[in-house]
Amino acid sequence: MTDLIDPAMVPKKKLYTGEEIPCVGMGTFGSDRFTSEEVSGAVAGAIRGGYRMFDCAACYGNEDEIGEVFQSAFDAGTVTRKDLFIMTKVWNDMHRKVREACTKSIQDLKCDYVDMYYIHWPFPNYHAPHCDVDSRNPDSRPFSVDEFVDTYEQIAALKKEGLVRNIGISNMTIPKLDAVLPKLSVKPAACELECHVCFQQQELFDYLVKEGIQPVGFMPLGSPQRPERDMCAEDVADLQTPTMKEIAQAHGVHPAIIALKWAQKHGQIPIPFSVHENEYMSNLKAFTEDPLTDEEMERISKLECGNRLVKGQVFLWPGADDWHDLWDENGFIVE
């Protein structure tokens, strides 16, 4: 491996707790296109290359393999546990069994505790891995404030025990946040949301910042390799827009690098994923040099076009109209 990045050169973001964490992490969702061995191999290379934050999830089906990589890195002295910021998530079918889910992830990841534990989706609506986009679980139901708060407070109890350092939420909306935040015993430290140049979610982003909750952007490159079930004819390819190509040419880089530079200057923590060394190392290097200008940021801000790529159809409940009901687009929680 060449062009290693000194982790000290990667800028930091500060959570409301005062904890400083890397401004970029490595995603690990690739189960639809890559094997667990390929993903864990990329994690191993990323640790050697200078990454110190990793975004995992039980439902990705690769935490055990990634845990072996973490353990090997600890044993070799490449990193210590406190050098890594490890994030994972409780899956929908474990909302009533958070302790069991979290303990299993900690055991699989071989990490003693997790630095951030997210509620992956605000619904307990389960779907089988690799299911078709038209699949529906008849037991699915609309969002429940009380059920969400119960799940969250189970994590809060684990935080008191030291198994969880920070609590995260994910795939939320402003109406849902308005409903639950006053009821939580401890404020979330971060919120994962789909965020890329053609889907900037600025209103939600600004809401989170105002509340002191760090936005963590998934699919920061517009996820050109997302599962085919999530692809629709109307989707926009962010990196193929003329603006992104022009700015990339001016900087002498791939448009993906511009997307990450935008994310950094925008204020989110992006979590790009790749199993290819040249790509994930280029991604990390993007945060250490050649920032975008204010004029370039202004140009990119105009690319917003409501290009939601993760629509969540498989979480719909009986009686829901379509995936728009998941996202409370009219300003209220759809029941």
User: Which residues are the active-site residues?
Assistant: 60
For residue 55, with 0-12 CB atoms within 10 Å meaning exposed, 13-18 middle and 19 or more buried, which class applies? buried
Per-residue tokens: 160: 């008191």
Chain centroid offset of residue 220 CA: 9
d(CA 228, CA 208): 30
Query: Edge-to-edge strands of the sheet including 269-270?
Result: 26-27, 53-55, 85-90, 116-119, 167-170, 190-194, 214-218, 269-270
The answer to whether the CB of 170 falls within 8 A of the CB of 29 is: no
How many C-alpha atoms does 184 have within 13 Å on its Cβ side? 21
The answer to whether the CB of 260 falls within 8 A of the CB of 287 is: yes
d(CA 95, CA 154): 9
d(CA 208, CA 206): 5
The DSSP 8-state label assigned to residue 293 in this structure reads: P
Rounded alpha-carbon distances, angstroms, from residue 215 to 192, 194, 272 = 6, 10, 14
The answer to whether the CB of 57 falls within 8 A of the CB of 30 is: no
How many C-alpha atoms does 279 have within 13 Å on its Cβ side? 12
The answer to whether the CB of 197 falls within 8 A of the CB of 238 is: yes
